[in-house]
Structure 1
């Protein structure tokens, strides 16, 4: 019998078994760890779903994705992070800055200090190097608790295709005995067969990732690039600005878009209070543009701490009027 075939009766039996054993909710939902976001998307990222994360350059898409990956691994579940733009040491430095920033009450932690510690040629061990960073040693100890569950894959556009992604995921499953949460950073760099225009190449990748998410029964979070029109200052990026193909929005179960609050807030909020300019620059606005598991058009704001390689995890509703907003909220 074709292994892809199943009956409704078999699907009901599997669901019933999960419910009786108490594994249904825990096995199907992966928490992002960001306050306000998890309730908005149905309690977290659901197995079999494809989530796209988009936004202008330099707004912390990789930081946001890495923070979710850390949160999932810290909860005791495996993660594989396919990075086409950053090497494992760079991501590790960001993790250390993230953990140190959360632990340190003095607010003195900086990612630059972490990077300097890695470059210190006069001290042998990493632990000794981190003694000069506030909460640096404690951060290293915290990472040790989940370090064997967070897998970093140095991906390249010349060799890491969908087959390589699937093979790496299978290797993680065999090592950990569990299906991992998957991050692809980023989608448009996944290697595709030669030929075809950008739309066709993007369609090939996004359809492949969606099929893989369903086969794994695990969520896949993929970062998506924006077209040039969305990169203009003062322009709010939306789903239609995703670069490459309409299939991105069609195949995705959830589309999340980051924007800098200063760039997309209605101008009257800046005109009548000049102090808002600097305050708004410290916040990123996350829009849930599409959501098959709950409400869309949810808009949250998160304070950025890029000097510490992280976002503050508690999101809050945006009170100000935004550009391209259908409803004015006071």
Structure 2
């Protein structure tokens, strides 16, 4: 699979200081945008990609004194016009818009030449992309693109020829398309000029293609509505009042409206027979196995979830210092390493540099803060050890994209990133992580935190289905959830299975858990952590080691409270050792419900955990008659050098207990 050098997003900086337009009703029942103030921005087609220049952004600056309720349209600088800068004179056409939020409606009957040329450039750019990139062709078909959305007859014939070439499994490029048209007797002078125009266009990115298709769908709907409007006017002025004429006309009008509605859908509604056939084909091809992307070496979680599944929406909640970011980052690296598919990790909390330091820290057993400084606690250079770690990380790093997100990274923009990334890799697969959900910006400001969280969560669920990819979102806990994860004041609460936070305690949570396919919560196991710390101290003293040299380890339970279409598993709780300073998780075993009983003796399991961590080299030890092992200082925490090796799969878990 080719690795892209860069990702073309097709977006430009949003226009600062823009003010949303308002609408007023005009004589024919439509609504027209009017400026609130001089210099105000009017925007058409902004629902799809509000900050994109590739929406034909139709941005018009309303000049002062433009007239009552009217605006003098001017072309904004920097707007991509298919490689050509343009300016449309005032009066080339009046634009009528609906501000209901669905799409803007243009009066094609008064559209100027500039509008026709814009659509011509869109259509030719689309065809250029379909000829030169099969991935774009598949994406266009999945989005419901068809020849009727093209206005030029030559474009329709060209699209049909391209479809026939792809359908026959033949190569598609400039030469094969031209040769096929000649063989079919379609290569006329008009077709030759049109094909030359198409081939001269720069192919769009995947994100641009999706936006272009939505514009063409909107135009097609407007043209069909205009035609129906003309038929309605002709019927009314005809003056016929016969009952059968009215019934027949309204029946036909309803049929046309339903057809318009069907055409506006991005994807065609298909019968279940196709899904059944797909399942049978998959069973014959795979013959069993898990359903999603493997997250090995997290073996138990991998079995519990059956991997990260396409079209599934995952949520992870937890209190501060429980390792949510590190856990999600580990999952992202395992998917990238095991499957070599593009993985997008959006972070609103950390920089790319800090997260890269954590990736290296997992491989060399060094505190990430020391990696950022470039030297250990004694001032010695870490360059040699970091080069070794870089070799391990480089196995998956080309497939992991960490994005320092901000207010511009709306879900529309992220969707375009995903389409472009899949196009660059030549695949229809992608995995997306969000750290964290409540930080994702919305198109419009929402004051109510619960309504805002619900809106974002609903869009993430829809995006997972649209892109057919796993989406993994982190969510912090509210104050009540954090209180439930604090050390219990009463020892009896330590054995209470239900005295813990759930996804309902997520910040701003309303319908979040209902949107999720899989809901997971990280919570500290205070009793197991206390018992392990006592055992570590006693073992250190017995071996003549400084108890303060023992690593800081928390035992953390991952509760999978919701697991849609889940396979059978021994438990819905997976236990991890979280090395706080190293930012590393080691999977231990399932935690069974019987372990919460007051009469359960868990010390044997703690000894097994200690033995396993010692065997894997994460606990400093000294055999009788030998000198103390060389420790790597981590600023108050030390680990043996044996813990510095391996990669994402080096710490595969063994059975504990």
Q: Same fold by TM-score, threshold 0.5 exceeded?
A: yes
Deviates more, 1:51-60 or 1:280-289: 280-289
Residue 58 of structure 1 deviates from its aligned partner by 1.4
* Bigger relative contact order (CA 8 A; separation at least 6): 1
Unmatched tracts of structure 2, length 5 or more:
1-262, 489-499, 538-550, 602-657
Match of 1:172 in 2: 421
Residue 185 (structure 1) aligned to one of 435, 445, 468: 435
Deviates more, 1:238-247 or 1:279-288: 279-288
Match of 1:234 in 2: 487
SS at match of 1:307: coil
Match of 1:104 in 2: none
Match of 2:573 in 1: 299
Are the equivalent residues in 2 in contact too, given 1:301–1:318 (CA < 8 A)? Answer: no
Match of 2:333 in 1: 70
Residue 562 (structure 2) aligned to one of 280, 285, 290: 290
Deviates more, 1:65-74 or 1:226-235: 226-235
Q: 1:275 to 1:36 in 2, by over 3 A?
A: same
TM norm structure 2? 0.42
SS at match of 2:350: coil
Match of 1:30 in 2: 293
Which digits, 9 at most, give the CA deviation of each residue in 1:188-227, with x for residues without a partner? 0000121341111111111100011111221111001211
- Alpha-carbon distance in structure 1 between the residues aligned to 2:463 and 2:410: 13
Residue 321 of structure 1 deviates from its aligned partner by 4.9
TM norm structure 1? 0.81
Residue 113 (structure 1) aligned to one of 370, 387, 409: 370
Match of 1:79 in 2: 343
- Alpha-carbon distance in structure 1 between the residues aligned to 2:425 and 2:471: 18
- Alpha-carbon distance in structure 1 between the residues aligned to 2:600 and 2:411: 43
Aligned length: 303
Match of 2:468 in 1: 217
Match of 1:130 in 2: 383
Residue 275 (structure 1) aligned to one of 527, 530, 534: 534
Which digits, 9 at most, give the CA deviation of each residue in 1:89-148, with x for residues without a partner? 1111111111223xxxxxxx33233222289xxx9xxxx8521x4xx3221011112221
- Alpha-carbon distance in structure 2 between the residues aligned to 1:45 and 1:187: 18
Return the structure number with greater strand share. 1
Deviates more, 1:302-311 or 1:66-75: 302-311
The root-mean-square deviation of aligned C-alpha atoms, in Å, is 3.2
SS at match of 1:141: helix
Are the equivalent residues in 2 in contact too, given 1:319–1:329 (CA < 8 A)? Answer: no
Q: 1:320 to 1:307 in 2, by over 3 A?
A: farther
Are the equivalent residues in 2 in contact too, given 1:260–1:281 (CA < 8 A)? Answer: no
- Alpha-carbon distance in structure 2 between the residues aligned to 1:274 and 1:70: 29
- Alpha-carbon distance in structure 1 between the residues aligned to 2:301 and 2:478: 25
Residue 162 of structure 1 deviates from its aligned partner by 1.1
User: 1:5 aligned to 2:269?
Assistant: yes
Which digits, 9 at most, give the CA deviation of each residue in 1:44-64, with x for residues without a partner? 121111110010011110000
In the TM superposition, structure 1's runs of 4+ consecutive aligned residues that sit over 6 Å from their partners are 276-280
User: 1:154 aligned to 2:154?
Assistant: no
SS at match of 1:182: strand
Q: 1:57 to 1:88 in 2, by over 3 A?
A: same
- Alpha-carbon distance in structure 1 between the residues aligned to 2:532 and 2:454: 45
Tell which structure's C-alpha radius of gyration is larger.
Answer: 2
